[in-house]
Amino acid sequence: MKSCGVIVEYNPFHNGHAYHIEQSRETAQADCMVAVMSGNFLQRGEPAIIDKWQRTRAALQSGVDLVLELPYLFAVQHSDYFSRGAVQTLSNAGVDAICFGSENGAITPFIKAHETLTAHGEVFNNNLRKHLDEGLSYPEAARFAYEDIGIASIDLGQPNNILGYSYIKQILDHHRHVTPFTIERTGSQYHDQHMDGSIASATSIRKELLAHGEMTEKALDAIPLPTLDGLNEYYQKNKVWHHWEHYFSLLQYKILTTPAEQLQLIHGVDEGLEHRFKNAIKKATSFHQLIENVKTKRYTWTRLQRTCVHILTGLTKEEARHWLHEGTAYVRVLGMNKTGQSYLNVQKKRMNVPLLTQPQQWSHPVLDMEERSVAAYYSALPAQQRVECMSKEYGSPVRI
Amino acid sequence: MKSCGVIVEYNPFHNGHAYHIEQSRETAQADCMVAVMSGNFLQRGEPAIIDKWQRTRAALQSGVDLVLELPYLFAVQHSDYFSRGAVQTLSNAGVDAICFGSENGAITPFIKAHETLTAHGEVFNNNLRKHLDEGLSYPEAARFAYEDIGIASIDLGQPNNILGYSYIKQILDHHRHVTPFTIERTGSQYHDQHMDGSIASATSIRKELLAHGEMTEKALDAIPLPTLDGLNEYYQKNKVWHHWEHYFSLLQYKILTTPAEQLQLIHGVDEGLEHRFKNAIKKATSFHQLIENVKTKRYTWTRLQRTCVHILTGLTKEEARHWLHEGTAYVRVLGMNKTGQSYLNVQKKRMNVPLLTQPQQWSHPVLDMEERSVAAYYSALPAQQRVECMSKEYGSPVRI
């Protein structure tokens, strides 16, 4: 059985994602499509609009055969760690290929860029450090450092290309048995705020939904039926589609009740950021206001959002340093259909990390962090629903 | 100017309190009545129904001349530390007398009891330890230990007598220049749940108000006009009368996201209580349910409530051990009338600890703990009101 992995967030699953799955299956000639998906918090440092279980179900009902969890530890990180965790998880799960979306759909420029980097790694690292010292944000500094060594064949200013390039680096450096593919993105750009037609970005769909607080015609055009059902079901049950403002009160409490010297131990709270947060939080009445007042040229909105998630979950520098370095320690199944199940039955004998269908099967610090992120995420829910939703963390994967 | 101190919580200020002030003033022949009051969290480990500023205003409008803050560190503790902090604060503020309510209004039994204890201190301590080892709660163990050495002239099963006796111990051991008085309590008992007539316990008034969510005829009978105004104003502005259930979501978040080995560092989380909390919190959908499931013969409801407050504010064993031992480091004014002001003008020259009318006048770890308790308390409010209320912490005392 041939398999192809995709690296996703599905926040929420939309028509563009369905197209990506279909195209990837064709390109890689795959029988089983395996998605590694961020859990309840996402790479840009935001809570997912609905939880990982509803997003898993929608993905399975829309063409994905198997959904694996990208642990929180790797999911809410800049592209390098995010990619490392995602590619490792897919590789551990035994995929033959990985297919990602890019701006022009050609794999050669990515591979060439990687060759250039391998040849000029030291220069790249020195320049990266230099640009960071100049006060640039990490993505900016990285982009300039790439340009310095002549990687200009792909536009590393495009979010999809940045991620794609990180995947290629991981695959070619550590997982050479996995074949990389890329397909051209269609329709809206990653961050597009406006939506028009049946292919829209997840960002624009969320914006539309959160602005109206209910399903709209426009959003309906851009998502398949399972996503519609998932969004509606989640809202009816839990009275919420998650966004940052739901967590502002909690974040304010956490920052105010955590002494500066402890806040400083949190992953991402660097270079006196604890004092910027402590000063800004006293007067802020919304999350938006807080970030506006804390952000600088160096600390981008996304970087600060990620840091705020880590403040909520209490992820320390020490934990992050140690366990990011260790790499993914397990493969956790969020959901599967019959094809996914058959695939796993074959693969599980070959895996060299534990395969978890229930997290309590195993005890591991990275699972503890996952549990903390789950508790933080559902704290936006009413008491009864909160307890019900949290219990899903210890239940079985979604099966369709 | 002759002064008399009282030790209070005013949660809320009611007719019984007004009577206590009046009687104490007469008994001690005082020109200035000084109250040391718990802030936003109370001795029994509960949030005050309205904040310390509204309670201060009501007290000043009902006969008190000067309101001082009992720091959070001392306020949310068993009777020994509570009394130590309260008597020290009053003594530091230079009061001539302290007058407390007791079941029969005679001071001699308290003084005799103290003499007995001084003579048999070692036996008392040994017996106390023995009873604790038998699994009794602290109040029970202390009561038996008192009985063991023959202190039976006052009923140390009565909450007011327990507190009164703690005050006497503090005064006679460390503050002999202060004259102790006691007056007989009238009307309802401390913990009475039922109210009837113009003298009712604060417990029964809170129960009435929280059950109805609005002012009732019965409650109105038991409180003076300034308390009515304070309760109404606070509710109109902040949409809340505080009780534990408002904090349950926060507490659940905090317990779930704090690793057991860190939870264990919190003051009061002893002997594996961290595991009892962590297990019970997963399934609890209310604060009441949580405590029901955690409590044992040894860990009383009150003791656990206090521990939950410390979990919310992050008060560590290390902080508590060190700073409770150090004693009160300052006298903070919450409010005063002209008499209170004149009194302070004279006393401040004699004080050997700083007199604070604004906490940012001084930097001290006990003030940092206060700030954390303020942040935790107001986290029950909507964002705009929360920021406004928190800013009062850095403002001036109430003046009438």
Closest in B249, B256, B375 to A383, CB measured: B249
The verdict on whether residue B13 carries a ligand-binding annotation is yes
Is A212 assigned to a binding site? no
For chain A, how many residues are written?
Answer: 400
pLDDT top residue among A357 and B361: A357
**Residue A362, pLDDT above cutoff 90:** no
Query: B67 forms bridges with which residues in the sheet?
Result: B35, B335
- B333-344 pLDDT, tens per residue? 999 999 999 999
Position B140 scores a pLDDT of: 82
Is A16 known to sit in a ligand binding site? yes
CA separation, residue A109 to residues A100, A151, B140 (Å): 14, 9, 77
Does B92 score more than 80 pLDDT? Answer: yes
CA distance readout (Å), A58 to A6, A18, A33: 15, 10, 14
Q: What is the pLDDT of residue A168?
A: 95
Shortest Cα distance, chain B CAs vs residue A97, angstroms: 37
Give the residue-averaged pLDDT of A121-149: 86
Q: Which pLDDT score, from 0 to 100, does residue B152 have?
A: 67
* CB spacing of A387 vs B249 below 8 angstroms: no
Phi-psi region of A62 (alpha: psi -120 to 50; beta: other; left: phi over 0): alpha
Summarize the confidence of residues B267-286 as an average pLDDT: 95
Q: In B, what residues contact A, Cβ < 8 A?
A: 248-250, 252-253, 256-259, 282-286, 312-314, 368, 371-372, 375-376, 379, 383-384, 386-387, 390-391
CB A379 within 8 A of CB A101: no
Is A66's pLDDT higher than 70? yes
* Closest CA in chain A for residue B310: A257
Q: How confident is the model at residue B199 (pLDDT cuts 50, 70, 90)?
A: confident
Residue of B nearest to A251 (CA): B379
Q: Which of B283, B314, B390 sits opposite A387 (nearest CB)?
A: B283
Q: Is A125 annotated as a binding residue?
A: no
Q: Which residues of chain B have a CB within 8 Å of the CB of A390?
A: 256, 282
Q: Do B383 and A248 lie within an 8 Å CB cutoff?
A: yes
Measuring CA to CA, which residue among A264, A270, A369 is closest to residue A326? A369
Name every chain A residue with its beta carbon within 8 A of the beta carbon of B256: 371-372, 375, 390
Give me the mean pLDDT over the A256-285 stretch: 95
What would the pLDDT profile of B216-225 be if each residue is shown by its tens digit? 999 989 999 9
* A330 in Cβ contact with A364 (< 8 Å): yes
Sorting pLDDT into bands at 50, 70 and 90, what band is A250? Answer: very high
pLDDT tens digits, one per residue of A47-62 = 999 999 999 999 999 9
Among A293-297, B286-290, B369-373, the range scoring the smallest mean pLDDT is A293-297
Q: Quick one: which of B362, B360, B361, B378 has its CA closest to B313? A: B378
Residue-level pLDDT at B348: 92
Alpha-carbon distance of A395 to A56, in angstroms, equals 14
Which residues does chain A have within 8 Å of residue B282's beta carbon, measured at their own beta carbons? 387, 390-391
Average pLDDT, rounded, for chain A: 92
> A34-38, A341-345, B299-303, B317-321: which range is least confident on average?
B299-303
Residues B375-389 have a mean pLDDT of 95
pLDDT value of position B13: 96
Confidence of residue A187 (pLDDT cuts 50, 70, 90): low
The answer to whether the annotation marks A330 as part of a ligand binding site is: no
Which residue would you say has higher pLDDT here, A199 or B53?
Answer: B53
Name chain B contacts of A282, Cβ cutoff 8 Å: 387, 390-391
Region of poorest pLDDT, from A82-96, A161-175, A311-325 = A161-175
Contact A249 B379 (CB under 8 A): yes
Mean pLDDT of B364-391: 95
Q: How far apart are CA B327 and CA A359, in angstroms?
A: 47
| Residues in chain A closer than 8 A to B248 (CB atoms) | 383
Nearest residue to B241 via CA among B12, B5, B28, B36: B12
Q: Do B253 and A376 touch (CB under 8 A)?
A: yes
Residue B190 has pLDDT above 70, yes or no: no
**Has residue B193 got a pLDDT over 60?**
no
What whole-number distance in Å separates Cα of residue A306 and Cα of residue A39? 14
Which residues of chain B are within 8 Å of residue A249 when distances are taken between CB atoms? 379, 383, 386
Nearest to B248 among A376, A383, A391 (CB): A383
Note the pLDDT of residue B200: 85
Long-range contacts of B131-135 (CB under 8 A, 24+ apart): B135/B297, B135/B298
CA distances from B369 to A255, B10, B50, B77, B397 (A): 14, 21, 20, 14, 19
Listed residue (A309, A334, A196, A200) closest to A255, CA to CA: A309
In chain A, residues with a C-beta closer than 8 Å to the C-beta of B360 are none
CA A335, A337, A338, A343 dihedral sign is negative
The whole-number average pLDDT for the span B106-116 is 89
Cα angle A213, A218, A224 (rounded to 5 degrees) comes to 95
Share of chain B above pLDDT 70, in %: 96
CB contact under 8 A, B387 and A283: yes
pLDDT tens-digit map of B132-165 = 898 888 778 888 888 888 776 677 767 778 889 9
Helix axes B52-60, B225-238, angle to 10 degrees: 160
Strands A331-336 and A179-184: unpaired
Which pLDDT does position B96 carry in this prediction? 97
pLDDT band at residue A194 using 50, 70 and 90 as cut-offs: low
Choose among A248, A375, A387: nearest Cβ to B285.
Answer: A387
How sure is the predictor about A153, in pLDDT bands with cuts at 50, 70 and 90?
low
DSSP B49-66: SS-HHHHHHHHHTTT-SE
Residue A190, pLDDT > 60, answer: no
Q: For residue B387, give the chain A residue with the closest CA.
A: A283
Which of the pair, A254 or A142, is modelled with greater confidence? A254
Structure confidence at residue A298 (pLDDT): 82
Whether residue B188 has pLDDT greater than 60: no
Which residue in A51, A46, A44 sits closest to A12, CA to CA?
A51
Tokens linked to B162: 């327990």
Mean per-residue pLDDT, A286-307:
94
pLDDT of residue B235: 95
Amino acid occupying residue B51: D
pLDDT for residue A77 is more than 80: yes
Candidates A256, A383, A391; nearest CB to B286 = A383
Asked if pLDDT for residue B208 goes beyond 60, the answer is yes
CB A97 within 8 A of CB A179: yes
- Round to whole Å and give the CA distance between A21 and A23: 6
Q: Do B313 and A257 touch (CB under 8 A)?
A: yes
CA distance A258 to chain B (A): 8
A377: nearest CA partner in chain B: B253
Dig out the tokens for A305 from the structure: 């959002």
Q: Cβ–Cβ of A313/B257 closer than 8 Å?
A: yes
Type of residue numbered B22: E
Whether omega before A12 lies within 30 degrees of 0, making that bond cis, reads yes
Residue B362: CB atoms within 10 Å: 15
The partner residue sitting opposite B256, judged by closest CB among A259, A285, A375, is A375
Give the pairing type, strands B66-70 and B32-38: parallel
Average pLDDT for residues A350-373, to the nearest whole number?
91
A20 is in an annotated binding site: yes
- pLDDT classification of B187: cutoffs 50, 70, 90: low
Q: Token pair of A31, please?
A: 């029988």
Kindly list the structural domains of chain A, giving each domain's residue range(s) and its CATH number in brackets, ordered by start. 3-110+183-243+327-399 (3.40.50.620), 245-321 (no CATH)
A63 is in an annotated binding site: no
**Considering CB atoms only, which of B259, B376, B391 is closest to A253?**
B376
Predicted ipTM?
A: 0.89
Q: For residue A235, give Cα distances in angstroms to A210, A214, A229, A231, A239.
A: 12, 9, 10, 6, 5
Q: Which of B256, B285, B390 sits opposite A383 (nearest CB)?
A: B285
Chain A residues touching residue B318 (CB < 8 angstroms): none
d(CA A393, CA B283): 13
Q: What is the pLDDT of residues B241-264, one digit of tens each?
A: 999 999 999 999 999 999 999 999
Q: How far apart are CA B275 and CA B278, in angstroms?
A: 5
Does B164 belong to an annotated binding site? no
Interface contact flag, B285 A384, Cβ < 8 Å: yes
Spell out which residues of chain B touch residue A312, defining contact as CB-CB under 8 Å: 257
Of B16, B120, B44, B73, which is closest to residue B302 (Cα–Cα)?
B44
pLDDT band at B308 (very low <50, low <70, confident <90, very high): very high
- In whole angstroms, how far apart are CA B135 and each of A400, B130, B298? 53, 9, 5
| Mean pLDDT to the nearest integer, B57-80 | 97
